[in-house]
Structure 1
Amino acid sequence: MKFPIGLRLNAKVNNITKLGIFVTLPHRHHGLIFHKDFGDKWESAKKKYSVGDEIRVVVINNHEGKISLSLSQVNNSDLVDPTNEFKDSKDFTPLAKLLEKSTDKIANLKNQLNLSDR
């Protein structure tokens, strides 16, 4: 499995050290959430997590198999998830695109059932 920058995925905490939180990713890959990801809150953050916890992370770097992850940037819209089907949409926001698809499906269903607007 490839881990491109921006990819969001679930990870399982397997160790917490002074360096950060080490996690296991799908297909037995490993990554690190560096302690600087938590800023001034590292001391309290490392107490919040335990070995075995499942957390949502985003890939922020992948160099020579060393995968750097972030918890704080999971919702960062500048890190585009390459698996997001709306990533190339420039004319619509993802919600608008989804609504457009839903509206088209409803219209098609009405046509198949020979229903008209009443």
Structure 2
Amino acid sequence: MRRQPSIFGSAPASALWATMDGGFGQVGCVYTAQGFEYDWNGVIIGPDLVYRDGKLVTIRKASKDPALSRNVTDEQADRLIRNTYKVLLTRGLAGTIIYAVDEETREFLAELIQPNGQP
């Protein structure tokens, strides 16, 4: 099988990152990760899921997912955003590294890992 040239240098086309050499270290999305498991996984929690007032809340306007531009209710958008992160966060077999772009969300996640600041 002849490999098509990629706009990403030596990396395969994005639809093949999970299955071909050169895909390691590439940034994908739920659509490129769904259905695959990896030894190690990294997830960036964007501004569409943040920790506020003691709970995780979704911010529909902050999402870049094209599925949310369709005619979906706010409740459906909330479910889609949460499900996206559920899929992404469950791909790592050995572990998952998480980074949140929002500072308050990062602090909340750090507390989950180290309760009360204890190592």
TM bracket, shorter-chain basis? under 0.3
TM-score, with structure 2 as normaliser: 0.25
TM-score, with structure 1 as normaliser: 0.25
Name the larger-Rg structure.
1
More helix by share: 2
